[in-house]
Structure 1
Amino acid sequence: MSDQPAPALKEIFNPERLKHIAEQVKAVYPDFDSKAFLKQVNAGLAERSIMQRMAHVADCLHAVLPLDYEASLDVLRQVAPRLNSAFVTLSLPHYVATYGSHAFDTSMDALKYFTVFGSSEFAIRYFLRSDLERSLELMLEWSLDENEHVRRLASEGSRPRLPWSFRLEAIQADPTLAAGILDNLKADPSLYVRKSVANHLNDITKDHPDWVLDLIEGWSLDNKHTAWIAKHALRSLIKQGNQRALAIIGAGSKAQVRLLDLQVTPAVIRLGDSINLNFTVQSTVAESQRLVIDYAIDYVKANGSTSAKVFKLKALTLPGNGRERVSRGQQIRELTTRKHYLGRHAVYVMVNGEHLGSTAFDIVE
């Protein structure tokens, strides 16, 4: 295994890739000034994040292409299938979002086209923010499209809390605005689409948990695709031990079990080491029961207080009087989303939302 760190995500837009973009535009539009484009797009590249680089490519294309908006779109439509990175194609929908607000129909048709090559999920949010009703009406039609990429765009683009993008405050406040899209996709055969629907609903649980629970309780979960969406849409509520969410996936009853031999090893680690969580769940009844097993770590914060993070372990049907041995390893290392501090970190095991036991490990210098 190499000791070299993985390249930063923003290096998707490195000088070699920018040269590739210039070559592909030149191939379909011979009058394109590649040198001028590369001079502009490489300026200040090192300081830009991945999303800033994506937007910068769109801006530089606009600056160099000597064409009106519609003619530029014709060029970019030809470029899209020639690009060698799906993420890089996101620059093309961003071009539409930045320079096409005056031409709604043309721009939305372009976003539908570009999404097949990467995704227009970020770009379409600008149109949702400026013309919500009109955009949602069209996206409702897209949710019935034969192409899974277009159907996914209807759900993903209208997510109230899409990562790496601004929130859609109107849909965040009133999830019924996009409910028709979700209803059309609740049994979609494409896993790509189902993941988006589940993530959309999980977003809503942060603000309107009861709305999501009411919705899913009204669904028939006999369809395996719908049942999959329900389970993954409720994951945050399940981690919180929400009894309605647990009941939907068949684990709403109090677990009739004992927790045996709970331990974390080693009990003392340094940052970068791994811990191993081990325990046994022993049934105390003769009937089988559905269990959802999670664990939480109380991470020490800079001020000495703690903040719990819940992790999924497993869901299973435990036979009457049966037992299940559970093990999980986890490396305790620095992440972009979490900084670790020295001290004692409690570990809790939860079964069907109930804390059944705890142990701890220490991080030392």
Structure 2
Amino acid sequence: MTEEAPALLKDILGPQALETIGDAGNATSPCFDRTAFLLAASEGLDALSVMERVRHIADALRAALPGEYAAAIVVVRAMAPRLTHGFQAMAVTEYVARYGLDDFDLSMEALADLTRFGSAEFAIRPFLAADTPRALAMMMRWTGSDDDHVRRLASEGARPRLPWAARVPALKADPTLAAPILEVLKADPSLYVRKSVANHLNDIAKDRPDWLLGRLADWSQDDARTVWIIRHALRTLIKKGDPAALALIGVGHGAAVSVRDFTITPAAVHLGDRIAITVNLVSDSSDEQRLVVDYRVHYARAGGKSAAKVFKLKTFELAARKTASLAISQTIRDFSTRRHHPGRHEVELIVNGQTMATEAFDILPVD
């Protein structure tokens, strides 16, 4: 039977997860105090978010594990294969982050092992903050691992803007510090690793775009794996229509096309409804053109202001004098990161970094 998805993300680390972690400890070592763990981990759990639960469970483990850190870490590493969800393993990994800084090498070795069961990308941040050169040197060695989880950690753990993670002061000051790691991984055979490298580079693009463009311009595009990373690493700059970024993926700034029938239907919607965006692009060129087509929605905000967000529509080759019909639909609904307000929402059609047409739709107030 398929296990039902939790109603809330934090419920992944609910009572059943605590039982699983407690059972893993109990099965691994006679020194593990399952009762003490469950008592400490259950206290106040309901009020905590998922990442707060990760830290709370790590603290509860301290009450159940041997007092000597070197002995405790042996138990923690043995527990990980018995866990049933990545977030459970992240909670166990967090124990290393909270109590292992004084045993730097032992803890980093443990993180490289534990990341196979639940990513140690958050747990490694305190070690990077405490001694950035030392941590990066160890992570550089991980790039030669046979395990793609370990190679990914070398990139993901050092991301300058890793979501949900604490910022590392040295990486904030210089987001390019992990560049040697990315160089080694720029043609990694694992898509799991390549996605991390691309996301890491995209983080850098937000603070050091010129550095990123210069570095990627020097990368050979003879390997399809490297080409994939370059395209995804440039996504923020491409959405901004940066000419140099577009050139790196073989796209000119602007295009010889005419826009026909750019429409948004319906013209007025309530929250929860869908809009359809359609357009015909007609080539005005006698040569084939590579087109990157996006659309930018200017979301209405309180007080008459607006906030823009760019969405991908399509990247494709348009043959000489041919017409391409494009369409996409989007549900207008709230997210934790975006709330919708009644009012007029302008939409720009962007082709190769240039706005080619505009339309609009209205979000109606709740009756």
TM superposition score category, shorter chain reference = over 0.9
Aligned residue in 1 for 2:43:
43
The Cα RMSD (Å) is 1.3
- Spell out the pairing of 1:109-258 with structure 2 (5 A cutoff): 109-258=109-258
TM-score by length of 1: 0.97
- Spell out the pairing of 1:257-272 with structure 2 (5 A cutoff): 257-272=257-272
Q: Separation in 2 of the partners of 1:287 and 1:161?
A: 41
Q: SS of the residue aligned with 2:304?
A: coil
Q: Separation in 1 of the partners of 2:151 and 2:5?
A: 37
Distance 1:162 1:91, change over 3 A: same
Give yes or no for the alignment of 1:61 onto 2:40: no
Aligned residue in 2 for 1:312:
312
Aligned residue in 1 for 2:77:
77
Distance 1:5 1:268, change over 3 A: farther
Q: Gaps (5+ residues) in structure 2? A: none
Shift of 1:254: 2.4
TM-score by length of 2: 0.96
Q: Separation in 1 of the partners of 2:199 and 2:82?
A: 30
Q: Separation in 2 of the partners of 1:288 and 1:135?
A: 48
Distance 1:91 1:310, change over 3 A: same
Q: Which moved more, 1:166-175 or 1:241-250?
A: 166-175
Q: Gaps (5+ residues) in structure 1? A: none
Shift of 1:24: 1.3
Q: Which moved more, 1:166-175 or 1:155-164?
A: 166-175
Q: SS of the residue aligned with 2:178?
A: helix
Aligned residue in 1 for 2:300:
300
Q: Separation in 1 of the partners of 2:298 and 2:217?
A: 32
Q: Separation in 2 of the partners of 1:175 and 1:60?
A: 34
Q: Which moved more, 1:77-86 or 1:247-256?
A: 247-256
Aligned residue in 1 for 2:98:
98
Give yes or no for the alignment of 1:29 onto 2:37: no
Letter of the 1:200 counterpart: H
Distance 1:250 1:323, change over 3 A: same
Shift of 1:5: 9.9
- Contact 1:172-1:207 within 8 A present in 2 as well: no
Shift of 1:311: 0.3
Q: Separation in 1 of the partners of 2:32 and 2:128?
A: 32
What are the superposed Cα offsets for residues 106-132 of structure 1, whole Å, 9 maximum, x if unpaired? 111101110111111111110000001
- Contact 1:294-1:314 within 8 A present in 2 as well: yes
Aligned residue in 1 for 2:356:
356
Q: Separation in 1 of the partners of 2:143 and 2:252?
A: 33
Distance 1:31 1:253, change over 3 A: closer
Aligned residue in 2 for 1:344:
344
Q: Separation in 2 of the partners of 1:284 and 1:106?
A: 63
Letter of the 1:227 counterpart: V
- Contact 2:28-2:79 within 8 A present in 1 as well: yes
Distance 1:14 1:5, change over 3 A: closer
Aligned residue in 1 for 2:17:
17
Letter of the 2:186 counterpart: K
Aligned residue in 2 for 1:108:
108
Letter of the 1:125 counterpart: R
What are the superposed Cα offsets for residues 233-254 of structure 1, whole Å, 9 maximum, x if unpaired? 0000000000000011111242
Q: Separation in 2 of the partners of 1:313 and 1:134?
A: 43
Aligned residue in 1 for 2:87:
87
Shift of 1:208: 0.3
Q: Separation in 2 of the partners of 1:33 and 1:88?
A: 18
- Contact 1:244-1:252 within 8 A present in 2 as well: no
Give the share of equivalent positions with the same residue, in percent: 49
Letter of the 1:175 counterpart: P
Q: SS of the residue aligned with 1:122?
A: coil
Shift of 1:36: 2.2
- Contact 1:172-1:204 within 8 A present in 2 as well: no
What are the superposed Cα offsets for residues 15-53 of structure 1, whole Å, 9 maximum, x if unpaired? 111111111111112343322221211111111010010
Aligned residue in 1 for 2:331:
331
- Contact 2:194-2:229 within 8 A present in 1 as well: yes
Q: SS of the residue aligned with 1:136?
A: helix
